[in-house]
Amino acid sequence: MIDVLVIGGGNAALCAALSAAEHGAKKILLLESAPKKERGGNSIHTRNIRVMHDAPMGELTDAYPEDEFFEDLLRVTAGKTNEALARQVIRQSSTCPPWMQRHGVRFQACLGGTLHLSRTNNFFLGGGKALVNAYYRCLQSLGIDVRYDSPVCEIEIERGRVNAVWVQSSQGRKERIAAKTVVIASGGFESNREWLREAWGPAADQFLIRGCRFNMGVLLKDLIAKGAQSIGDPTQGHCVAIDARAPAYDGGIVTRIDCVSLGIVVNKHAQRFYDEGEDFWPKRYAIWGRLVAQQPDQIAYSIIDAKAQGRFMPPVFPGQTAQDIGTLATQLGLDPQALIATVEAYNQSVVPGQFDHAVLDNCHTENITPAKTHWAQRLDTPPYTAYPLRPGITFTYLGVRVNERAQALFDDFSPNLFAAGEIMAGNVLGQGYVAGVGMTIGTVFGRIAGAQAAQTALLA
Amino acid sequence: MTATMTQTIAFTPLATPATDEAARVMGICNSCRYCEGFCAVFPAMERRLAFTPSSIHFLANLCHNCGACYHSCQYAPPHEFALEVPKALGRVRQETYAQFATPPALGRLYQHQGLALVLASIAGFMIIMMAALVVNQGSLDKLLSAASTKDLFYEITPHNVLVGLFLPVFAWSVLTMARSGQKYWRSLSNMAAEQPHFSAEARQTFADVATLRYLDGGGDGCTSESDQPTKRRRIFHQLIFWGFMLCFAATSLATVYHYLLDWPAPYPMLSMPKLLGTVGGVMMVIGCTAALVQRPKRHSALKVPEQHTMDVGFVVVLLLIAASGLVSMVLRTTAAMPLLHLFHLATVLSFFLLMPYSKFTHGLYRGLALWWHNREQRNPSRLKLSDG
């Protein structure tokens, strides 16, 4: 019988399988629902891991102590975090980079334009897919079985004890695989549009999925139906504003539009609806998904003039450009008079100041609603450029409740079902997001789940 | 006036489907940047927002086809963006070799009929050398006779025949490649004015070339066959590169011996020219053979089928030169020596004659691209990008 069966093929699942092998499990099987070429779940779109450290460590500068990490987490989650588990993740994060390097992951200095993360986040050379590849190579060299195209459709559970899982083969056949222990690391439900619609209503039809198409939440639903205690808001997801022309799935990082704070944003009626300069974009991009989702037809347009060119990361799709606002409006399918009026009203409200995109500068508006509180410059230098925005879902918060040993909680903690990664991230990250913490939770809890599963299997 | 105008007007490479595709790919890469730490291509890309044919021919020649970016790419097929960076840049390099060749028509001809040109030129040089023998000696008898090398070497190929053949061929390849290099450099320097830091650039470029710095997937080796990095390709390439340099040094030293020390060939086994040539030849044979054996196993994403003949042809010619040189040395006292000797000389002549159109030029364009890159990197970026 299999000692440790790992469900999932992303970072947390891979860490669990490697950790199980390190802790003595002999027969380990990893079931990845995706085909080999699309393996790795949303981890392939990641690029760094947030790591606590008390002194410079590798590429990480200065120090990032436990309390500061926890305060960052407390702030973004507005307190929706389990402090014991959060501190466990934070403390153990400092042991992750050496462990990752031993398994083939390489690090690099923070990427261009991300200097603000050089202290807190360790960047993977080549990004998340390089990391995922390194871990799969490790599995292979350790002789751990990996099966692709193997979505698990059901888990057999009796009073919190898992006996087996059912794999749906591509031919529609179902196969039962019994295991002493199971680690579930199969992600959230953000690829499941029907489920998103339950939470968001018809607006969800316009949402773009930034990650893979495989996170259908099948097992999350199955576990909750079978008595697993859930955690996290089922109606919430990490939702950012991305380029409306992004692919329906797997758009990843390139679909970001980083010029919102440099111009204005209007809805389909050519009306502004929120302070574009409220704070630095990395701190605000996550609220803009929700803001756009609340606009008619879930569409908005970020409009800049020539002064902003070359000041933001290049978007993947070229913007719509025109020499005057009216023409731009026509190209976008907006009412030209309405957009001209909006831009004129905005321009008249701009109070001249010292423009500086690196600080919260004093360029702001007066007597206009909504105000633009920083980086407000008149839109007066053609050509004008517009990028269409839509809500993009990164991940969902709903998960299963776990303890410090990664055991899933039913009436009591399961003796042999462990959870890691996005499916339990809600224990630590009840809402909000801070860059790289998903990989921290996945790596730390993946390693814990694998170790605990191995030890449990060896005692069985 | 017109003549000076054409002298100073920069050569601009053409926009083609290959440069369009590479520009599309680089546009997506420029929004991602996860591969920034792998090689020179990505830091150079990040200094740009738009990609002209000139900048694409620059980036393409910085690429060493190590494969690291392909295997790490979240947008590689089956993703609808279908990014294959190594292949896209490889296709552009092929156009560099043709468009910057002097004259370009010969570059294009070589790409279509490379094998025929190689075989015809080898045969042609053998015929010329045999004709020279007939003219000098009145017969071809010597070609089938075994004798001590000392006598036979210059009896078959008199020194003035050798000089008469090698000097114009060598001058041709040096001059045409210098012209090609000049055109390529102009295309680079016309992208934007950059402040030179001559000695720092030179040192860095020399080190980058001598160590094949970027043929290593960002540190662990090329990922040629799968995502598993290995150092093999860099080792093979170094054997060929430095083996070739040793052989070149052997010939240069022999020229010095001949003219300055009045010590004509052939040289004893333990002389410097012989030692350098033998070691270099063995390195080339091992490197070329290993490269040819490894090549079919290369991942399909790292192969440009249209470039296959040119690449393989180049390595085969190098292998023929090295192997025929070694064999004619080993068999120097047998009846096989004269023909082997002629064949060896003919392959060397063919190699130099076609050098400006062959894969040899990848070293020229890559060296210049690296030089320009090392200059750019010492200048601050004109962009003020921030994600804040």
Nearest-CA distance A162 → chain B (Å)? 34
Q: Is the pLDDT of residue B148 over 60?
A: no
Instruction: Evaluate whether A438 touches A428 at the Cβ level (below 8 Å).
Output: no
Q: Which of B36, B68, B80 sits opposite A247 (nearest CB)?
A: B80
CB A339 within 8 A of CB A379: no
| CA gap B93, B162 in Å, rounded | 35
Q: How confident is the model at residue B135 (pLDDT cuts 50, 70, 90)?
A: confident
Specify the DSSP class assigned to residue B356: G
Give the pLDDT score at B92.
98
Q: What pLDDT band is residue B84 in, cutting at 50, 70 and 90? A: very high
Distance from CA of B227 to the nearest CA of A (A): 7
Nearest C-alpha neighbor of A63 from the set A84, A94, A92: A94
Chain segment B189-208, per-residue pLDDT in tens = 999 999 999 999 999 999 99
| Cβ under 8 Å to A: B residues 359-378 | none
Is B355's pLDDT higher than 70?
yes
Q: Is B369 exposed, middle or buried (0-12, 13-18, 19+ CB in 10 A)?
A: buried
Would you say A157 and A137 are in contact if contact means Cβ atoms under 8 Å apart?
no
Q: How many CB atoms lie within 10 A of CB A248?
A: 12
Chain B interface, best mutation among A43, A108, A123, A262, by max B CB count within 10 A: A108
* pLDDT for the residue B147: 62
Of B38, B71, B383, the CB nearest to A133: B71
Q: Is the pLDDT of residue B150 over 90?
A: no
Rounded to whole angstroms, how far apart are CA atoms B111 and B107? 6
List CB contacts (< 8 A) between A112 and chain B: 33, 36, 46, 385
Cis peptide before A352 (omega within 30 of 0): no
User: Model confidence over A102-127: pLDDT tens digits?
Assistant: 999 999 988 877 778 899 999 999 99
Residue A336 burial (C-beta neighbours within 10 Å; 0-12, 13-18, 19+):
middle
Find the closest chain B residue to A105 by CA distance: B220
Give the closest of A108, A124, A282 to B387, CB-based: A282
Distance of CA A161 to the CA centre of its chain: 30
Write the pLDDT tens digit of every residue in B334-354.
Answer: 888 889 989 999 999 999 999
Distance from CA of A234 to the nearest CA of B (A): 28
Q: A153: burial class by Cβ within 10 Å (0-12, 13-18, 19+)?
A: middle
CB-based contact (8 Å) between A176 and chain B? Answer: no
- All residue ranges of chain A with pLDDT < 50 are none
Say yes or no: A116 contacts chain B, CB-CB below 8 A: yes
- How confident is residue B2, by pLDDT bands cut at 50, 70 and 90? very low
What pLDDT, in 10s, does the model give residues B285-320? 999 999 999 999 999 999 999 898 899 999 999 999
Query: Pick from B36, B77, B220: which is nearest to A108 by CB?
Result: B36
Task: Nearest chain A residue to B218 by CA: give it.
Answer: A125
For residue A358, give the nearest of B69, B77, B386 by CB distance: B386
Q: B31 and A113 in contact by Cβ < 8 A?
A: no
Q: Report the complex ipTM.
A: 0.95
Q: Do A256 and B31 touch (CB under 8 A)?
A: yes
Chain A: residue whose CA lies nearest to B227:
A133
With an 8 Å Cβ cutoff, is A357 touching chain B? yes
Confidence at B9, pLDDT banded by 50, 70, 90:
low
Give the closest-approach CA distance of A159 to chain B in angstroms.
Answer: 41
Closest-approach residue (CA) in chain A for B24: A316
Percent of chain B with pLDDT over 90: 77
- List chain A residues with CB under 8 Å of B80: 247
Nearest to A112 among B36, B75, B220 (CB): B36
Looking up tokens 């990505």 gives B42
What's the pLDDT score for residue B156? 83
Q: In the numeric block, which tokens belong to residue A384?
A: 């004008």
Residue A18, helix vs strand vs coil = helix
Q: What pLDDT is recorded for position B143?
A: 81
Could you say which residues from 105 to 124 on chain B have a Cβ atom under 8 Å away from some Cβ of chain A? none
User: What pTM did the predictor assign?
Assistant: 0.94
Q: How far apart are CA A40 and CA B307, in angstroms?
A: 33
Residue-level pLDDT at B288: 98
B380 at interface of A, judged by CB pairs closer than 8 A:
no
Residue B93 above 50 pLDDT? Answer: yes
Task: State the smallest CA–CA distance between residue A263 and chain B in angstroms.
Answer: 13
What DSSP element (H or E) covers A318?
Answer: none
Whether A126 and B69 lie within 8 Å, measured CB to CB: yes
- List CB contacts (< 8 A) between B81 and chain A: 247
DSSP state of B11: P
The H-or-E segment that residue A321 falls in is strand A320-322
- Residue A305's pLDDT is 97
- The answer to whether the Cβ–Cβ distance between A129 and B28 falls below 8 Å is no
Residue A138 has a pLDDT of 98
How far away is chain B from the Cα of A51, in angstroms, using its nearest Cα?
A: 19
pLDDT value of position B141: 79
In a 13 Å sphere around the CA of B179, the CA atoms on its Cβ side amount to 14
Q: What is the pLDDT of residue A172?
A: 82
Residue of A49, A114, A115, A125 for testing the chain B interface, max B β-carbons within 10 Å: A125
Cα angle A287, A291, A292; round to 5 = 120
Q: What is the pLDDT of residues A375-426, one digit of tens each?
A: 999 999 999 999 999 999 999 999 999 999 999 999 999 999 999 999 999 9
- Name the average pLDDT for chain B: 92
| Residue contact B49–A310, C-beta within 8 A | yes
The number of C-alpha atoms within 13 Å of A449 and in the hemisphere containing its C-beta is 35
Work out the average pLDDT over B177-186: 96
- pLDDT of residue B87 exceeding 70, the answer is yes
Longest dimension (CA), chain A: 74
Q: Does A88 touch chain B (CB under 8 A)?
A: no
Contact predicate A215/A41, CB 8 Å? yes
Pairwise CB contact (< 8 Å): A127 & B384: no
Pairwise CB contact (< 8 Å): B385 & A316: no
- Cβ distance of B34 and A111 shorter than 8 Å: yes
pLDDT over 70 for what percent of chain B?
A: 95
Taking CA atoms, B181 is separated from A85, A363, B54, in Å, by 62, 50, 14
pLDDT in tens, A342-388: 999 999 999 999 999 989 999 999 999 999 999 999 999 999 999 99
Q: What is the pLDDT of residue B3?
A: 42
* Min Cα–Cα distance to chain B from A141, Å: 11
Q: How far is CA B226 from CA A133, B68, B339, in A?
A: 10, 10, 43
Of A106, A108, A312, the CB nearest to B386: A312
